[in-house]
Amino acid sequence: MIEESLESGRRIVFEQYKQAKEAEIACVEELGFDIVEREETSHGAWTEITYLFGGIPQSDELDTLVDEADACMDRHARFIELAYQTAPSIEERDELRNAHREELLACLKRDGVAVNEDSEWADLVRADREHPRPAEDQNCFEELGLIDMG
């Protein structure tokens, strides 16, 4: 998958990443572990698939099984995940920013952050970070899952 992406000059897309993670999860399950808390979490520019495994399989070789689970991760998804999570191209980044701009501006205005409609993205980031909030409150970038798009 990575070789195909490199040859074509295209990035790893979510469906390719998801396919690799599903193969990783199936591999870990085949070792006898239970898969729990499987989640897809949006980080704005990319979606992360996470899970936990447990339910100790009936074996005297637990350490070996855990090593084999790590090998499942290496064999099926670790490098694809790294390639998938890399920064998007400038064009893709700008598309993502434009897609979330109105939502971000609405959040900033709701929170009383002084910005202009035509502010540069960096100015929006700075204004959001510098706006005083109670420690337990998220800023708009965090609230909207745009942390990686700053």
Q: What are 51-75's pLDDT values in tens digits?
A: 999 887 776 788 888 899 999 999 9
- Tokens, residue 34: 């239970």
In whole angstroms, what is the distance from residue 35 CA to residue 42 CA? Answer: 20
How many other β-carbons are positioned within 10 Å of the β-carbon of residue 23?
A: 15
Amino acid at 105: L
φ and ψ at residue 140, rounded to 5 degrees: -65, -40
- Tokens, residue 96: 């993502």
Whether 88 shows a pLDDT value over 90: the answer reads no
Q: Which pLDDT band holds residue 3 (cuts at 50, 70, 90)?
A: low
Give yes or no for a contact between 32 and 39, defined as CB atoms under 8 angstroms apart.
no
How many other β-carbons are positioned within 10 Å of the β-carbon of residue 114?
A: 9
Q: Which pLDDT band holds residue 6 (cuts at 50, 70, 90)?
A: very low
Which pTM value belongs to this model?
A: 0.56
**How far does CA 84 lie from the centroid of its chain?**
9
Cβ neighbors of 31 (< 8 A, separation 6 or more) are 57, 65, 68, 69, 72
